[in-house]
Amino acid sequence: MKAFEQIPQSDDEIESSTQNQEKKEKMEINDTATFQEAIESGNLQEAAAWLERVKSDPKYDARWLDHRSRELMRAFCDAGQLDEAEKYVDYAQNEKGRRGREEKITRLRNQTT
Query: Model confidence over 1-26: pLDDT tens digits?
Result: 444 444 555 555 555 445 545 444 55
Please say if the pLDDT value at position 48 is more than 80: yes
**Domain of 39, in residue numbers:** 30-112
22 falls within a domain: no
Mean pLDDT of the chain: 85
3 assigned to some structural domain: no
What's the rounded Cα separation, in Å, for the pair 80 and 113?
A: 12
Residue 70, domain member (yes or no): yes
User: CA Rg, the chain, in Å?
Assistant: 16
Any domain includes 66: yes
Give me the number of domains the chain comprises: 1
Residue 67, domain member (yes or no): yes
The answer, yes or no, to whether residue 105 has pLDDT greater than 80, is yes
24 inside domain: no
pLDDT at site 5: 43
- Sequence-ordered list of residues with C-beta below 8 angstroms from that of 75, at least 6 positions apart, any chain: 39, 42, 44, 47
Is the full-model pTM beyond 0.85?
A: no
Is residue 43 domain-resident? yes
Write phi, then psi, for 32 (nearest 5 degrees). Answer: -60, -40
Task: State yes or no: pLDDT of 61 exceeds 70.
Answer: yes
The CATH number assigned to the domain holding 95 equals: 1.25.40
Cα→Cα distances 98→30, 73, 75, 88, Å: 27, 12, 17, 9
Helix, strand, or coil here: 60?
A: coil
Q: Quick one: pLDDT at residue 2? A: 43
In the prediction, which pLDDT does 95 show? 97
| Predicted local distance difference test score (pLDDT) of residue 3 | 44
